[in-house]
Amino acid sequence: MGKNRPTSHRVLLVRLSAFGDIIHVLPSLDALREAIPTARIDWLVEDRFASLLEGIPGLNEVLVVPRSVKKNRWLAYLRLARRIRKNHYDIVVDFQGLTKSAVWGVIGKIPTRIGFGTRMGGRCPAGSTPKGFVRPKRSRTWCNAT
């Protein structure tokens, strides 16, 4: 690990939008907290859904993607990318499975990127499941894109 990097795990969960889908991902937060009790777990979400996650037990911080910002949106995105890099996450779990969500793990230089499918450079064979993760019953597979 780098000189200023923490010794415990730092995890970023990404589910940017869709009210119901965010609710369905919440049990994953509990499972992750149980598996790694000392981890710092943050959640990246679009601004219109950020209030859903405020005060959730087990969640350290809610990082907000500023979708409603019209003026200087790219500057706001750049600031968020810098903040994600500064947090030195070890793992990003992308529950969205789209380019708009996967890009944050890439831009944030997060070494282990886990998510659906093979977007953003994923290299996992169909049916593979990273250790400690349960594959959803749908046809998609978990993928470690590191």
Predicted confidence at residue 116, as pLDDT, reads 59
Predicted confidence at residue 130, as pLDDT, reads 46
Tell me whether residue 44 is in a domain: yes
Tell me whether residue 5 is in a domain: no
Task: List per-block mean pLDDT (blocks of 10 residues) for the chain, which spans 146 residues.
Answer: 60 90 90 90 93 91 86 87 94 86 86 67 43 45 44
What's this model's pTM, rounded to 2 decimal places?
A: 0.74
- Domain span at 17: 10-144
Concatenating the DSSP letter of every residue in 17-50 gives: S-HHHHHHHHHHHHHHHHHSTT-EEEEEEEGGGH
CA distances from 138 to 20, 79, 117 (A): 17, 35, 12
Number of domains composing the chain: 1
CB 39 within 8 A of CB 11: yes
Residue 96 has, within 13 A of its CA and on its CB side, a CA count of 22
Predicted confidence at residue 99, as pLDDT, reads 81
Predicted confidence at residue 42, as pLDDT, reads 96
Predicted confidence at residue 82, as pLDDT, reads 95
Tell me whether residue 2 is in a domain: no
Tell me whether residue 3 is in a domain: no
Predicted confidence at residue 74, as pLDDT, reads 86
Which CATH number fits the domain that encloses residue 27? 3.40.50.2000
**Tokens 């992308």 sit on residue:** 94
Tell me whether residue 103 is in a domain: yes
Tell me whether residue 46 is in a domain: yes
d(CA 119, CA 9): 24
